[in-house]
Amino acid sequence: MGFLSFEPDLKDLANLKTELDLYINDEGHALYLYKEEADIKCNFSGIVGIETGPDFVLVRHLDMAPSNRTDADYAAVLDELSAKVAPSKIMGSIAITPVIMRWEEAKKG
């Protein structure tokens, strides 16, 4: 189940399958694995699930390994995502919006 199993709603296999089917079958949805450049063992640190709109990207899932749940780690993921989807605005689900708001405030810094 991997990183998505950190989300309580996706611990149920039927819910997880439904969510994965969405990412597989809908071109407007994508999953990205995140790996720190400094990780010489090539271990992944997290996963980002997005939904693409006309001028925005909605982050639906942002799940990190327990050792990578810092604002700095989330900022690194969001920086890379922002570069990939520019000029689209990055938005978050209700659960993820606080993380994105902290990231945006830190960028203004």
12 Rama sector, left if φ>0, alpha if ψ -120 to 50, beta otherwise: beta
What 8-state DSSP symbol labels residue 5? G
Which two tokens mark 64?
A: 């990190």
Number of neighbouring beta carbons within 10 Å of residue 64: 19
Residue 82 clears pLDDT 80, i.e. is over it: yes
Structure confidence by residue, pLDDT tens digits, 27-61: 999 999 998 876 666 788 999 999 999 999 999 99
Crossing angle for the helix pair 71-85 and 97-108, to the nearest 10 degrees: 80
pLDDT at 39: 62
pTM over 0.85: yes
Which two tokens mark 108?
A: 């203004």
CATH of domain 2-108: 3.40.630.30
Domain limits of the chain?
A: 2-108
